[in-house]
Copies of this chain bind each other. A is one copy, B any other.
């Protein structure tokens, strides 16, 4: 899902789903990488197509040809997969027993996973920065919450009916920490070790997901 392209001119209207490699694939990838870096560092407006093109070592007009517009470029760059485990896998860990505390430590796992994910892929910071000022970015985040975090919550929380609310609570804590650490760069949020953060946030997330009531 990550490197999907917005390819034009579908040669065979109903042919193979993955189009064969092109000579320009390296350039496309360079543009995408530069775009992620710039969006992460500067946000949507200040990440100019000219700057991105310069980073990628090509002409600005190429960006337009391959991605149509700045919005198209962002859409391609912000195609994110959180790599969350399929919900079923979560139940396996603590063997197979009844309702209370279905998964021993979803909270711990999730917080740790998110921190790793954020540190290794700047596109998450990019999406967070852009989402704060750009409607399309905010919508994309909302979609990720719904499609990728929601299902996990649905499997783990007591009443699947209010899984969305649980997911939103989890998102508020995780995004808040990401904001403080990777976007605003509060010194104290930056200096804390990953383990320390996990120790503090895991019980919170665990409670948001599994507590029967506040």
Contacts and interface: CB of A to CB of B under 8 A. Distances in A.
Interface of A: 42-46, 128-129, 131-133, 138, 141-142, 145, 164-165, 167-169, 171-177, 179-181, 183-189, 192, 196, 199-201, 203-204, 207-208, 214
Nearest to A128: B132
A183 to B, nearest CB: 6
Chain A contact surface mostly: helix
A155 to B, nearest CB: 18
Contacts of A186: 141-142, 145, 168, 171
A213 B203 CA distance: 12
Contacts of A204: 173, 204, 207
A175 B175 CA distance: 9
Nearest to A196: B214
Contacts of A43: 43, 45, 132-133
Instruction: Across the A-B interface, give the 4 residue pairs with the lowest CB-CB distance, nearest first.
Output: A176-B176, A43-B133, A132-B132, A45-B45
A35 to B, nearest CB: 16
